[in-house]
């Protein structure tokens, strides 16, 4: 635990096992009420920092038909106790600092309790000021193995949609397309910029961001004595080219292992 008083604490089912589920302002955690083995108690306890929760969704509950032993959707009228559920999608940190998407589903016979949990989690997510809502994405369709658009559509776009992030996607058509766009676009409506491509795409985006920031501040960035103004926009990088030198260096800088998405 993080020492903060719990905002919500309940007993819920995970994979038909009872867990104590706790939410504080900074951590969401769940631990089994009856560990399988005394030695495994610590290993079964899970916790996720609230900023690393991607989304919370109400979940349709499946039940097993005892006669045919097949899974079916929960009927509107069920002989036994009716269950309700919600799923928390979150970041899972694995070995070598790899970050993966994971999910866990919690069940309860109390529908109001499930709604209370969803509301409490969503309220905490809304309080995270650093979470982006609107992004602009530049994709280089020609770099590397020409997989930039495919990588974005299959890997990135579903994650943005899950996290309720609106993304304006621009597939670049010529050299310095992203740079020229950033020089003229209204950047006030964006929380960040994402570069999908290789080192060239990332360099182009950075030149656009830096140049636009100096332009707004009326600074001549080409003057040798100019004091450049830092940019408030965050820049995300998604490798989709053949060479990843800048991506690797950026990953090392934040102590995160570089992993080829291809």
Contact 156, 169 (CB under 8 A): no
Among candidate residues 48, 53, 78, the one with its CA nearest the CA of residue 63:
78
In sequence order, the 6+-apart residues with CB closer than 8 A to the CB of 107 are 12, 13, 14, 61, 83, 84, 85
Work out the number of other CB atoms within 10 angstroms of the CB of residue 38. 6
Active site residues: 199
Q: Each residue of 20-29: b (16+ CB within 10 Å) or e? A: ebbbbeebbb
Which residues does residue 70 pair with via DSSP β-bridges, in sequence order? 65
Give the sheet arrangement for strand 192-197, strand by strand: 166-171, 134-139, 192-197, 234-239
Contact 144, 197 (CB under 8 A): yes
* CA dihedral sign of residues 253, 55, 50, 11: negative
């Amino acid at each position: 635990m993080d020492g903060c008083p719990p905002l919500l604490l309940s007993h819920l089912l995970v994979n038909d096992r009872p867990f104590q589920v706790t939410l504080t302002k900074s951590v969401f955690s769940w631990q089994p009420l009856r560990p399988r083995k005394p030695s495994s108690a610590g290993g079964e306890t899970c916790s996720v920092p609230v900023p690393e929760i991607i989304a919370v969704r109400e979940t349709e509950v499946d039940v097993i038909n005892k006669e045919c032993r097949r899974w079916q959707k929960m009927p509107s009228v069920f002989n036994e106790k009716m269950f309700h559920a919600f799923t928390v999608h979150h970041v899972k940190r694995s070995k070598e600092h790899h970050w993966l998407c994971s999910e866990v589903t919690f069940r309860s016979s109390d529908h109001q309790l499930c709604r209370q949990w969803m509301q409490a989690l969503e309220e905490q997510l809304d309080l995270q000021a650093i979470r982006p809502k609107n992004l602009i994405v530049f994709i280089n369709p020609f770099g590397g193995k020409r997989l930039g658009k495919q990588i974005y559509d299959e890997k990135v776009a579903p994650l943005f949609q899950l996290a309720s992030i609106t993304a304006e996607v621009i597939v670049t058509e010529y050299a310095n397309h992203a740079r020229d766009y950033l020089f003229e676009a209204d950047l006030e409506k964006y929380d960040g910029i994402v570069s999908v491509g290789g080192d060239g795409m990332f360099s182009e985006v950075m030149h656009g961001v830096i140049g636009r920031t100096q332009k707004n501040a009326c600074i001549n960035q080409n003057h040798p004595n100019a004091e450049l103004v830092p940019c408030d926009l965050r820049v995300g990088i998604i490798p989709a080219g053949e060479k990843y030198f800048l991506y690797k260096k950026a990953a090392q800088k934040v102590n995160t292992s570089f992993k080829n998405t291809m």
